[in-house]
């Protein structure tokens, strides 16, 4: 297999230069072009046939969201969004993920070293290159949340969810179909700082449950979903009858902070058989070992199936380790969560 071809689209000459230098040092990647705006990028897509595009969302002449819509309609291919850590940039990045972009990357602003940025950028490009677009996205309006029966017998239950590439839309689909009286949910989605804030706010507007970016010491209660903040690990803890989260720094696990394994291992220790674990689309193996630990302590584990995943890496690794009780298409996972909450699954 030849090198992965990358096209960099950004109005910042500095960003184009940094990305080109970083990627040129990586043997399996090749920068086949750069573009300062979507009009130049459009011609270079035709000329160079890139495998992956990095795309700034805030650009002159045509904004990145408008260009992304055109790409997904006429020439679908993996797009990694490069966005500033501002509230506006974060919201636009989330809109881009809804339009079909597969990953989001924080624009270098002095807060990240080029070395850190390089590792993240290279991994995201490699993950994105595994994605194949076989059909155009459906234009059908999103279905409303299903009408679900009130839950019973759910004392002390916890739902722990982990996801990466493609996970923002997968998490949204799961939470949209859970009723407001669902037991507490804890979530890790691989995402940079600030973007998790915007993601939680957007989910909170759309879902029946309260969704918030977790703060250290937040209680995990019925009707609430807590999302790990970018660049911090989140652990589930228990004090008497109360579940709460610990939000802390620490070394990355599987190159990730937050890490799904960190959450799942803590859920196994604090929740045991009261936990329902869900592993969704994502590149790599983060979460697989944690699911083994959860299963060993009596948790019930669900994995998203290959056909509905953007990238089948994380669920595949958990399945290979024998940590999963049930593998399901994304649309069937919410009903299985609710069934498991009110049953005694084996």
Marked catalytic residue, from 120, 286, 289, 305: 286
- The answer to whether 85 and 109 are in contact (CB under 8 A) is yes
Report the alpha-carbon angle 318-298-155, nearest 5. Answer: 120
Angle, nearest 10°, between helix axes 167-176 and 333-342?
50
C-alpha–C-alpha distance, residues 221 and 244, integer Å: 8
- The answer to whether 113 and 65 are in contact (CB under 8 A) is no
Marked catalytic residue, from 10, 90, 190, 270: 190
Q: Respond yes or no: is residue 190 known to be catalytic.
A: yes
Tokens read off for 120? 């993240």
What's 62's DSSP letter?
Answer: S
Q: How far is CA 262 from the centre of its chain?
A: 16
Marked catalytic residue, from 90, 164, 266, 308: 164
Q: Respond yes or no: is residue 286 known to be catalytic.
A: yes
C-alpha–C-alpha distance, residues 134 and 97, integer Å: 18
Q: Residue 67 belongs to what H/E stretch?
A: helix 64-74
Which residues are annotated as catalytic? Answer: 164, 190, 286
């Amino acid at each position: 297999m030849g090198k992965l071809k990358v096209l960099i689209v950004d109005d910042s000459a500095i960003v184009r230069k940094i990305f080109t230098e970083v990627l040129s040092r990586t043997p399996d990647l090749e920068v086949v072009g750069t573009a300062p705006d979507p009009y130049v990028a459009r011609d270079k897509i035709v000329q160079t046939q890139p495998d992956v595009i990095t795309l700034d969302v805030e650009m002159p002449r045509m904004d990145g969201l408008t260009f992304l819509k055109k790409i997904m309609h006429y020439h679908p291919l993996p797009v990694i969004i490069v966005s500033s850590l501002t509230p506006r940039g974060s919201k636009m990045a989330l809109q881009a993920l809804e339009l079909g972009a597969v990953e989001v990357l924080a624009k270098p602003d002095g807060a990240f070293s080029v070395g850190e940025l390089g590792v993240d950028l290279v991994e995201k490009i490699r993950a994105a290159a595994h994605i194949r677009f076989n059909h155009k996205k459906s234009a059908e309006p999103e279905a409303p949340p299903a009408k679900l029966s009130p839950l019973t017998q759910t004392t002390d239950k916890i739902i722990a969810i982990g996801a990466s590439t493609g996970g923002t839309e997968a998490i949204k689909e799961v939470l949209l179909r859970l009723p407001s009286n669902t037991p507490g949910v804890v979530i890790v989605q691989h995402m940079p700082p600030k973007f998790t804030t915007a993601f939680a706010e957007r989910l909170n507007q759309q879902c029946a449950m309260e969704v918030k970016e977790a703060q250290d010491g937040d209680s995990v209660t019925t009707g609430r979903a807590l999302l790990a903040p970018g660049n911090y690990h989140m652990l589930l803890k228990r004090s008497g009858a109360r579940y709460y989260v610990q939000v802390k720094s620490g070394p990355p696990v599987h190159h990730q902070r937050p890490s799904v394994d960190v959450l799942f291992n803590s859920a196994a220790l604090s929740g045991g058989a009261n936990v329902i674990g869900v592993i969704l689309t994502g590149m790599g193996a983060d979460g697989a070992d944690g699911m083994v630990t959860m299963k060993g302590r009596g948790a019930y584990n669900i994995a998203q199936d290959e056909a509905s995943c953007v990238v089948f890496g994380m669920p595949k690794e958990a399945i290979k380790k024998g940590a999963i009780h049930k593998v399901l298409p994304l649309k069937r996972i919410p009903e299985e969560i609710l069934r498991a909450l009110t049953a005694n699954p084996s």
